[in-house]
Chain A
Amino acid sequence: MTETLPPLPTVKKSPSPKAAAPGAGGAAPSWAVAEVNSRLTAEDKVALFRTMLRIRRFEERSLRAYQAKKIGGFLHLYVGQEAVAVGCCSLMGKNDHVITAYRDHGHALAVGMDMRGLMAELYGKSTGCSKGKGGSMHFFDPSRNYWGGHGIVGGQIPLGTGIAYALKYQGLKGACMAFMGDGAVNQGAVHESYNLAALWQLPVVFVIENNGYSMGTSQQRSSAGELGQRAEAYSMAWEICDGHDVYQVREVMDRFLREARENCRPGIVEIRTYRYRGHSVSDPDKTYRHKSEVEEYRRTKDPIQVFQDTLIAEGVIDPARAEQLDAEVRAEAESAADYAEASPFPSIEDITKDVYWEEDNPSEKKSQGRIFF
């Protein structure tokens, strides 16, 4: 490619919330007035809130199941990061796709997957979303444009770039959101993907969920320079966004998704967020941060509390309604656990199924397999 790329399409820093809120005379700054948010109906807003609650209660219920030894292996909880997956996935149109790493329960619920299938997957049951074969790190639902759930740090990013390539190849106006953590940005595959996406102008938005830590390593101890800024090396747009405010996530991501869908311009959005729990449930969370840091974030920036307060201030819900929603969602998580408990395990014969398409579909050897366009 010899042609020079057009100039960067967007500013690097989000406009300040104050500027975005006309006449915000002392009131809390608000991203609510951005068109992508102001057009939301009260029902839409409740749905966003509810999805965030569903994630939190699902995670808390799965933690209890883990402690009761119903779940094996790893369990990486999304508690604290809910506004990121919900804000991003709420913007998905028919041709938009999602792929993420192993901290994948939040995205799965945000794209609309059923709690029962997710919980059953955690329990290793045949009714799980991956038939009990993938486990916590490997949730998938391609029918909802959700491509996993990937255990190898950074390994999903080339796949997300490839999904964007397939969209462009087919001439579809869609984009792929490729999520990764702040630790994943140092994998070579991520950098190679940045370059490919920018070089070939692929409709992918790389979303860095920067929760400050990769396992027990702080961002400062693992990465040179700013994470999102690496976009500049590849002539991509980038921006930093606060991840505790679902309106802000939507405002920023909406602009990047439009650029991707309409102009095939890739970009990087670094979303600053926080995880409340240890890296996985087996992390004692003692060596790398102080409890007070977690408490402080919870107290001032809890994404669910922040949005609940916003919705109450907007008159969309009242505290009683918030409580009622929470009770419904808790009941949903509880019944998902019951469903998982009552479901059967796979059989020994199931172990060798789903390895080859050809063996699973002996009568369809000449078909082209499953095409998703």
Chain B
Amino acid sequence: MPSLSYREAIRMALIEELHRDPNVVVMGEEVAQFNGAYKVTEGLLEKFGPKRIVDTPISEAGFVGLGIGASMLGIRPVIELMFWSFYSVAFDQILNNAANVRYMSGGQIHCPIVIRGPANGGTNVGATHSHTPENVCANHPGVKVVCPATAYDAKGLLKSAIRDNDPVFFMENTLLYGDRAEIPDEEYLIPIGQANIKRPGIDLTIVAHGRAVITSLAAAQILERDYDISAEVVDLRSIRPLDEATVLASVRKTHRVLLVEENKPFCGVGAQLSHMIQEQAFDELDAPIRRVSSIDAPAIYSPPLEAEQLPTPQRVLRAALETLR
């Protein structure tokens, strides 16, 4: 099995789907001639030509909306946002048009569009470029939100996203682009809406998504090594649809829950999870549910401070120990 980086895995998914379906189009700023701001789409222009791989002006509302419009007729645009942070420029298009047009047309229309790109802090690019909008987007019925943590998941989930008949918002992480995983030569798909146990355990359930999974795994390793505590790490993989069953099964096994995310705490994904767990498994809980998230402020630029603003293995570890107290 070849080892591919998260970046290459996403590229492979694009290549396979571009080959499979002539209606798939990759579009965005600098995706073609410049090979992608983060080199995800490197080489695609050469392979597929300018009809399939399209550079756009800096007009997010325009080209994202255009992609949604084209998808209504059956084109399958995969729109790259150089940063998910720029979704706000196209807010009306993605959260009014893409999310609502099916409903408002009484089900006559659907939007098989994928919007993908990095959605993360931690790279010292300041508040405007460090948004993590998975919670904001997931608040809108009609859209799906996927946050892969590993190269393997990224590939299988992106292929499913491209084949999905509803709008899928695919949120990557620039800090993970270099992470590698074994990727089978054979084609595989990962269904959207299935969480994944990244590490089995019995004493504590840690639920996370995106890079917070990697942080949680690091903390789980320390818990095991230094405290003889066995933590189960559940990777949500998608925020909406949310795999409640997998989360609840883990809670019923460990009876203690820690929710970790790189999002801000207020109205974050953890708030939704925490409500869901107490509602459906209140009697299973032996301790209050705890959360670790980014410190509640816009993303600070200062590099050593931003590293502390995001969840660190140390913070996850401390919260885990408190949950187990």
Task: Spell out A's residues near B (CB within 8 Å).
Answer: 72-74, 121, 124-125, 130, 132-135, 137-138, 150-155, 183-184, 186-189, 214-217, 221-223, 287-288, 345-346, 348, 350-352, 355
Contacts and interface: CB of A to CB of B under 8 A. Distances in A.
29 contacts: A72-B124, A73-B124, A74-B125, A74-B129, A124-B302, A132-B302, A132-B305, A133-B126, A134-B126, A138-B126, A151-B126, A152-B88, A154-B58, A154-B89, A183-B58, A187-B58, A187-B60, A189-B89, A215-B34, A217-B33, A217-B55, A221-B33, A287-B33, A287-B35, A345-B305, A348-B305, A351-B297, A351-B308, A352-B297
A352 B85 CA distance: 21
B141 interface: no
Given A124-B303, A151-B125, A152-B89, A216 B58 contact: no
Interface in B222-276: none
Contact of B300 (A132, A151, A189): A132
B295 interface: yes
Contacts of A217: 29-30, 33-34, 55, 57
A130 B86 CA distance: 22
A186 to B, nearest CB: 4
B80 to A, nearest CB: 13
A184 B35 CA distance: 21
From B34, B295, B302, B303, residue with most partner A Cβ within 10 Å: B302
Interface in B20-39: 29-30, 33-35, 37
Given A132-B300, A348-B305, A355-B297, A153 B125 contact: no
Nearest to A183: B58
B62 interface: yes
A148 to B, nearest CB: 10
Given A217-B30, A288-B34, A352-B295, A137 B125 contact: yes
B105 interface: no
A103 to B, nearest CB: 14
A216 B58 CA distance: 12
A182 B306 CA distance: 32
Interface string B69-90: 0000000000000000110110
Given A155-B89, A222-B57, 5 more contacts: A124-B305, A217-B29, A221-B55, A346-B302, A351-B308
B88, B297, B309: most-surrounded residue (chain A CB, <10 A): B297
B305 A215 contact: no
Contacts of B196: none
Contact of B301 (A138, A287, A288, A352): A138
B301 A188 contact: no
Contacts of B123: 72-73
Contacts of B29: 215, 217
Contacts of A222: 57-58
Contacts of A154: 58, 89
Contacts of A352: 295-297
B59 interface: yes
B66 to A, nearest CB: 13
A133 B302 contact: yes
Interface string B291-322: 00001111011111110110000000000000
Contacts of B37: 215
A137 B127 CA distance: 10
Nearest to B34: A216
Contacts of B35: 287
Q: Which of A74, A135, A222 has the largest number of chain B CB atoms within 10 A?
A: A135
B61 interface: yes
B128 interface: yes
B308 to A, nearest CB: 6
A73 B306 CA distance: 11
B58 A350 contact: no
Contacts of B62: 186, 188
Nearest to B309: A351
Contacts of A72: 123-124, 301, 303, 306
Contacts of B58: 153-154, 183-184, 186-187, 214, 222
Contacts of B303: 72-73, 124
B89 A133 contact: no
Contact of B33 (A288, A345, A346): A288
Instruction: Give the residue among A73, A121, A222 with the most B Cβ atoms within 10 A.
Output: A73
B125 A188 contact: no
A352 to B, nearest CB: 5
